[in-house]
Amino acid sequence: MTPQRWNQIDRIYNDALEKSEAEREAFLEEACGSDDELRREIRALLVQPTEGGKLDQPAWQAAGTLLTESFPVELKSGSKIGPYRIEGLLGAGGMGKVYRATDPRLNRPVAIKVLSTEVAEESARRRFQQEAKTASSLNHPHILTVFEAGEIGDRQYLVTEYVDAGTLRAWMQAQKPSWRQIVNLMILLQT
């Protein structure tokens, strides 16, 4: 997001807060014009509590829950995406949710990342598809193998190999890494 775009969102959001709820929709129609993405961004901000809520928390604390709340549908154990049978939720973050599943055709575990609705706009879809194509063309021990990319409803998903590598906490407790190893890991996580 460019600084100009953020300033535009911030300005319209703050102006909308000064309007009564009855006036807000008409104000958004006028202020956003034909920019549906801008209107969605501001509506998402307007539904958040303005005091003592997530917007008052540090960004690192609130970001994951703000975005994953837009993906309210939890895939239940036993449900299916294509031929893949969902076994359970592995984790959730800003981009969506990751599930452990089984590929019954080859009797192997897989991971399925389902993107949230917040990243379902057309530009994000194209970027996701390009990243899936790029990742599937690579063969490296530190890159997950991509088996399939597809859509379920209005959400995209990516099926990859499942790697049970444990947690960062378990690694730190087992390895007792030096400060240099920790710094190198943090640098890797930022890229």
CATH number at residue 151: 3.30.200.20
Same-domain check for residues 22 and 86: no
Total domain count, the chain: 2
Q: Is residue 105 included in any domain, yes or no?
A: yes
Same-domain check for residues 43 and 84: no
Same-domain check for residues 86 and 129: yes
What is the C-alpha to C-alpha distance for residues 106 and 111, in angstroms, rounded to an integer?
14
Same-domain check for residues 33 and 94: no
Same-domain check for residues 87 and 147: yes
Give the mean model confidence (pLDDT) for residues 13-37. 89
Q: Which residues of 149-168 are buried (b: 16+ CB within 10 A; e: fewer)?
A: beeeeebbbbbbebeeeeee
Q: Is the dihedral of CA 54, 186, 191, 149 positive or negative?
A: negative
Same-domain check for residues 86 and 34: no
Domain boundaries, position 95:
80-161
Q: Supply φ then ψ for residue 151, to 5 degrees.
A: -130, 145
Give the mean model confidence (pLDDT) for residues 114-143. 76
Give the mean model confidence (pLDDT) for residues 119-137. 76
Same-domain check for residues 84 and 29: no
Cβ(98)–Cβ(90) below 8 Å: yes
pLDDT band at 125, cuts 50/70/90? confident
Question: Which residue from 128, 84, 81 is spatially nearest to 104, judged by alpha carbons?
Answer: 84
Asked whether residue 4 carries a pLDDT value surpassing 50, the answer given is: yes
Question: Can you give the length of the chain in residues?
Answer: 191
Same-domain check for residues 87 and 157: yes
Q: Is residue 93 included in any domain, yes or no?
A: yes
AA identity, residue 71? F
Cβ(156)–Cβ(125) below 8 Å: yes
Most confident by average pLDDT, 23-32, 43-52, 141-150: 23-32
DSSP H or E stretch at residue 15: helix 3-17
Mean pLDDT over the full length of the chain: 78
Same-domain check for residues 22 and 95: no
Same-domain check for residues 40 and 98: no
Structure confidence at residue 55 (pLDDT): 46
Asked whether residue 137 carries a pLDDT value surpassing 50, the answer given is: yes
Q: Supply φ then ψ for residue 74, to 5 degrees.
A: -95, 125
Q: What is the pTM of this model?
A: 0.53
Same-domain check for residues 39 and 89: no
Structure confidence at residue 54 (pLDDT): 44
Same-domain check for residues 84 and 36: no
Q: For 100, what's the count of Cα atoms within 13 Å in the CB-facing half-sphere?
A: 10
